[in-house]
C-alpha cells in the first residue's frame, strides 16, 4: 500500500473507480459524480491516491485555499473496501498538511460509514447544512486541524 500524488495520466483510473462505485450503489446523492461534474472537478482539483501495487484502490480530490484543504471527493473501490486504504490516505494527508492548516469536508447525514471513518481520524463535526443534498438531506461539515 502506498500513497502518490495523482496526475493527468491517472484520470482514466480515477474515472473507472468512480464508475465502479456508481455501478455498485447507483447515482446516490451521497456520492453524486456524473461524468460532466467529475470531468470539471478532475480538471481543477488536486488529487492524491492510494495504491496496491499498480492498482489505484482509492483517491481524494481537494482544493487548496489559504490555510484550508477542502476535500470534494473521497472514494475507495468497492473491491478494496474496509482494508484501511482510505484511512491510510487520509492519515497521509493530515500529516502532510502541517501545522496551522485545517482539512474540511462534508458528508451526507446517512453516510454513516464515511462519518465513522472521519471520526476515527479525529475529524470533528463543525456544523450542519440542512437540505443541502438533492434528496433534501442535511450535510454534516467535518474539520480536522
Ligand X SMILES: CC(C)(COP(=O)(O)OP(=O)(O)OC[C@H]1O[C@@H](n2cnc3c(N)ncnc32)[C@H](O)[C@@H]1OP(=O)(O)O)[C@@H](O)C(=O)NCCC(=O)NCCS
Give the burial class of 105: count Cβ atoms within 10 A of its Cβ; 0-12 exposed, 13-18 middle, 19 or more buried. Answer: buried
Contact letters for ligand X, residues 33-62 (x by CB under 6 A): -------------------------x----
Segment lying near ligand X (by CB under 6 A), choices 41-49, 92-100, 105-113, 124-132: 105-113
Residue 85 as a binder of ligand X (CB under 6 A): the answer is yes
Q: Does the protein bind ligand X through residue 144 (CB under 6 A)? A: no
Number of residues assigned to the chain = 145
Binding ligand X by CB under 6 A: which of 84, 92, 110, 141?
84
8-13, long-range: CB < 8 A, 24+ apart: 10/47, 10/49, 10/56, 10/59, 11/42, 13/49, 13/56
Q: How far is residue 73's CA from residue 132's CA, in Å, rounded to a whole number?
A: 16
13, three cell numbers: 483510473
87 binds ligand X (CB under 6 A): yes
Q: Which of 3, 6, 31, 49 binds ligand X (CB under 6 A)?
A: 31
Q: Which stretches of the chain bind ligand X, using CB under 6 A? A: 21, 30-31, 58, 74-76, 81-87, 107, 111, 113-114, 116-117, 120
Amino acid at each position: 500500500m502506498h500513497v502518490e500524488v495523482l496526475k493527468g495520466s491517472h484520470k482514466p483510473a480515477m474515472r473507472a473507480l468512480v464508475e465502479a462505485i456508481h455501478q455498485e450503489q447507483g447515482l446516490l446523492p451521497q456520492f453524486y459524480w456524473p461524468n460532466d461534474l467529475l470531468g470539471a472537478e478532475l480538471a481543477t482539483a488536486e488529487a492524491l491516491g492510494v495504491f496496491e501495487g499498480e492498482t489505484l484502490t482509492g483517491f481524494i480530490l481537494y482544493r487548496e485555499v489559504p490555510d484550508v484543504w477542502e476535500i470534494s471527493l473521497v472514494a475507495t473501490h468497492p473491491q478494496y473496501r474496509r482494508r484501511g486504504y482510505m484511512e491510510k490516505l487520509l492519515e497521509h494527508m493530515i500529516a502532510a498538511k502541517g501545522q496551522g492548516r485545517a482539512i474540511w469536508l462534508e458528508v451526507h447525514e446517512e453516510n454513516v460509514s464515511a462519518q465513522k471513518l472521519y471520526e476515527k481520524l479525529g475529524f470533528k463535526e463543525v456544523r450542519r447544512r440542512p437540505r443541502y443534498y438533492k434528496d433534501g438531506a442535511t450535510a454534516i461539515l467535518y474539520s480536522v486541524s
